[in-house]
Amino acid sequence: MITNRQQSILNAIVEDYVDYGLPIGSKTVIERHQVNVSPATIRNEMKLLEDMGLIEKVHASSGRSPSIKGFRYYVDQLLENTSPRTEYNNQRLNKILADNNYNLSNALSVYANELSMSTKYTTLIMKPKQTKHLITDIHVFNTDAQLIIMVIVFESGNVEHLQLAVPEKISKNRLVQIANYI
């Protein structure tokens, strides 16, 4: 969709806008990003990026700032240029999930922290929104005299663990009945 030079200019505009919060002019692009073309060439490329809706100009003589479409394009290019998940990454993700007893919330928190540490970027990971909480399986276990653990597996693959205090120990048969009833 855009040329390599336009991509470099868009990257410079987005990165400077994020860092400084101000519209970016052609001279600033050259000074901060060591682009080896004239300011006029940068302005011409900026005009093309503006025509594509990737950047916008507030005033006739101002620099450009990224549009929502430009930010989206920038992020999409970052994601496209990252290496695909390798078998090691898949194993690592599965290990994180297993180490957190298949609790998706805990595993996502650990994974977000590791991703942030390795990329040096802020990481935000959100669980998929569950519009229907369809339960596919329930297991109930005694842990001691007055505590039981309930493991609920949802159709989405999410697993929730509940610790429930009970007034007295419940037999295994009764726990099976409870799980079947639910």
Tokens of 44: 């011409």
pLDDT recorded at residue 85: 57
- β partners of residue 147: 144, 165
Q: What is the pTM of this model?
A: 0.48
The b/e string for 93-118 (b: 16+ C-beta within 10 A; e otherwise) is eeebbeebebbbeebbeebeeeeeee
Report residues of the chain scoring pLDDT below 50.
none
Instruction: Report strand pairing: 159-165 vs 147-154.
Output: antiparallel
Type of residue numbered 16: D
pLDDT recorded at residue 83: 56
Q: Can you point out the beta strands (E) in 19-114?
A: 55-57, 64-66
Report how far residue 83's alpha carbon sits from residue 104's, in angstroms, rounded to the nearest whole number: 24
